[in-house]
């Protein structure tokens, strides 16, 4: 088992650097959301050793490693160049991402957040920015990806970064869950659909002890035309909602289907909607919160 772990290798590493205040931390968050193992403010010389250690970490192996490094000092500039060369010699796909912004934008951001520029001790913010830009001049020339965040809103920055890095924005996972209104709606619901308009199988003797997972309950509900119309409209709505949620960066969409007790109608409809969304190519998880809490009249 130990031998197998030693053979696992990190295939991709993104080194994030650039101007202070330009969006390095935001870039790191984007990569972390895409499954990368994220590291903030790492000295470049430690990166090769860290990648070797992370060979037993699943997310680092499958997704890659993204690291923000501090390259404002001359020694660190040299370290970064050498480290990237060493990683590429080991066949690790290594990209340098440089996040930039105009001097005016950076000054405004530091003034707005009331933060001190790291190189502005005893100087104005603009002087610190200008000193940092001179120090990073060699790095930006050798960067693989350069993104100027001047005037960019966060969703636009994310889209541009994913495109430049050869990745696409992953659609959010869709959780479809049933519940009973008697026990209260789920607190983390994004959308709640009420299916109490359907006839209640709980009043049918042969269905009373069954749940919405059982075929007889499903066939009973499918006998009412309103169900088909409801499912058609719900599928269209939820498909659209999932797509626009993905554009905002939200990684999970929770759709809740409720009936009186959460055992018959909501369970059956949740199963049907889950199946339809899976066929449409969505990443879906189906769950039933109140299915085992007894039959509710």
| Residue 272, phi-psi category: left (phi > 0), alpha (psi -120 to 50), beta (remainder) | alpha
User: What's the start-to-end Cα distance of the chain, in Å?
Assistant: 55
Helices (H) and strands (E) in the chain, counts: 12, 9
pLDDT for the residue 76: 66
pLDDT at 115 over 80: yes
Under the banding of pLDDT at 50, 70 and 90, the label for residue 3 is: very low
pLDDT single digits (tens) 159-215: 889 888 887 656 667 889 999 999 998 888 889 999 999 999 999 999 999 999 999
If you average pLDDT over residues 131-145, what whole number do you get?
A: 89
Count Cβ neighbours within 10 Å for each residue of 79-102 and write b for 16 or more, e otherwise.
Answer: bbbebbeebeeeebebbbbbbbbe
Average pLDDT for 253-274: 95
Q: Is 34 buried (19+), middle (13-18) or exposed (0-12) by CB count in 10 A?
A: buried
Question: Percent of the chain beyond pLDDT 70?
Answer: 90
**pLDDT of 236-247, one tens digit each?**
998 888 877 766
Q: 80: which 2 tokens?
A: 């970064």
Tell me which residue of 244, 235, 249, 293 sits closest to 267, measured CA to CA: 293
Q: Any idea what the Cα angle at residue 91 is, between residues 88 and 92, rounded to 5°?
A: 70
pLDDT confidence of 103, banded at 50, 70, 90?
very high
CA distances from 36 to 42, 156, 160 (A): 15, 20, 17
**Looking at residue 71, what is its pLDDT?**
64
Residue 102 has pLDDT above 70, yes or no: yes
Q: What is the mean pLDDT of the chain?
A: 86
Closest CA to 179 of 262, 260, 264, 255: 262
Given a cut of 80, whether residue 294 has pLDDT beyond it is: no
């Amino acid at each position: 088992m130990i031998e197998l772990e030693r053979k696992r290798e990190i295939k991709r590493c993104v080194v994030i650097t650039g101007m202070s205040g330009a969006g390095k931390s935001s870039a790191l968050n984007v990569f972390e959301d895409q499954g990368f193992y994220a590291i903030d403010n790492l000295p470049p010389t430690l990166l090769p050793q860290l990648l070797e250690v992370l060979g037993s970490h699943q997310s680092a192996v499958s997704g890659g490693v993204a690291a923000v490094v501090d390259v404002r000092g001359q020694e660190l500039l040299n370290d970064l160049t050498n480290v990237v060369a060493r990683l590429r010699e080991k066949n690790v796909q290594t990209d340098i991402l440089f996040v930039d912004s105009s001097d005016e934008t950076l000054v405004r951001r530091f003034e707005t957040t009331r933060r001190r520029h790291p190189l502005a001790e005893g100087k104005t913010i603009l002087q610190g920015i200008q000193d940092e830009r001179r120090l990073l001049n060699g790095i930006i020339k050798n960067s693989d990806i350069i993104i100027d965040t001047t005037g960019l809103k966060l969703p636009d920055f994310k889209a541009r970064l994913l495109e430049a890095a050869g990745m696409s924005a992953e659609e959010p996972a869709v959780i479809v869950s049933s519940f009973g209104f008697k026990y209260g709606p789920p607190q983390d619901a994004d959308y709640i659909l009420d299916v109490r308009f359907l006839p209640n199988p709980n009043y049918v003797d042969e269905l009373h002890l069954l749940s919405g997972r059982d075929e007889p309950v499903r066939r009973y509900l499918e006998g009412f035309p309103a169900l088909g119309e409801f499912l058609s409209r719900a599928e269209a709505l939820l498909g659209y909602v999932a797509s626009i949620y993905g554009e905002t960066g939200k990684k999970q969409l929770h759709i809740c289907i409720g009936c009186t007790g959460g055992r018959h109608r909501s369970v059956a409809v949740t199963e049907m909607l889950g199946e339809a969304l899976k066929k449409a190519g969505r990443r879906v998880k189906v769950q039933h919160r109140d299915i085992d809490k007894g039959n509710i009249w």
